């Protein structure tokens, strides 16, 4: 992407181009092993993409299936280096069956483009596959019963880096109660393979707090720095 075009997208986000500050890249946390749950299907851990999608679409493990329009599985490049994980579908996502398609999704697309990526170049999923009524926060039991779908998606994508969008996603992926503000700017580690994980604010939060967009730009620059370091090591 040319510098002029990227500047235009940054301006649309209300962000001035900053020189990214040096942030510690020490590993801060590693996600614990997922809790065992009798409601989970052991076969999920060996499913391919289509079988996993069908399984999630017909899932009745928790009460959310009673109020959803449809399960929202995931979208994007299934071989992507970058995987973005949000909280749960909203009303627009529940209707259309795709994550991040409402106003927050439009802002996410702009964030990605400003960072040098298109939506089609990353893989996007959520902690939950079904919309909680009234867009309330996910309940621990709902997260637990949906967890192995996301874990299998991560295993299939094999991303080089994960970007956790918002507190619900970050806290569940890292098994912590630490706030987003304190989790930002640190290279975390996810799973046994130690996938680098970077935390930033959810686009929906930015719609309510537009002054925080500058912080997200810094987070995206930091994520790119972490990713570049990984590529340098493996090249």
d(CA 136, CA 71): 16
Structure confidence at residue 133 (pLDDT): 94
pLDDT tens sequence across 52-108: 999 999 999 999 999 999 999 999 999 999 999 999 999 999 999 999 998 999 999
Structure confidence at residue 33 (pLDDT): 39
pLDDT tens sequence across 199-235: 999 999 999 999 999 999 999 999 999 999 988 887 6
Which of 69, 67, 59, 83 minimizes the C-alpha distance to 147? 59
- Phi, psi (deg, nearest 5) at residue 234: -90, -15
Structure confidence at residue 214 (pLDDT): 94
pLDDT tens sequence across 127-173: 999 999 998 999 999 999 999 999 999 999 999 999 999 999 999 99
Domains of the chain: 3-234 (3.40.470.10)
């Amino acid at each position: 992407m040319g510098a002029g075009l990227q500047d235009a997208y940054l301006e649309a986000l209300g962000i001035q181009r900053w020189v990214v500050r040096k942030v510690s890249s020490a590993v801060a946390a590693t996600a614990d092993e997922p809790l065992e749950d009798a409601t989970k299907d052991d076969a999920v851990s060996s499913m391919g993409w289509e079988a996993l999608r069908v399984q999630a679409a017909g899932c009745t493990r928790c009460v959310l299936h009673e109020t959803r329009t449809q399960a929202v599985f995931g979208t994007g490049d299934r071989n992507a280096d970058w995987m973005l994980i949000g909280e749960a579908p909203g009303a627009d996502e529940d209707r259309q069956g795709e994550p991040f398609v409402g106003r927050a999704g439009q802002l996410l697309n702009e964030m990605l483009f400003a960072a040098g990526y298109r939506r089609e170049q990353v893989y996007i999923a959520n902690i939950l596959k079904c919309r909680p009524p009234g867009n309330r926060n996910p309940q621990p039991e709902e997260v637990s019963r949906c967890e192995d779908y996301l874990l299998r998606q991560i295993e299939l994508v094999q991303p080089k880096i994960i970007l956790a969008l918002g507190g619900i996603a970050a806290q569940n992926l890292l098994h912590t109660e630490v706030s987003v503000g304190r989790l930002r700017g640190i290279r975390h580690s996810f799973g046994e393979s130690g996938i680098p994980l970077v935390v930033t604010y959810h686009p929906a939060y930015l719609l309510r707090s537009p002054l925080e967009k500058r912080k997200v730009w810094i987070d995206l620059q930091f994520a790119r720095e972490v990713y570049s370091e990984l590529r340098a090591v493996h090249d």
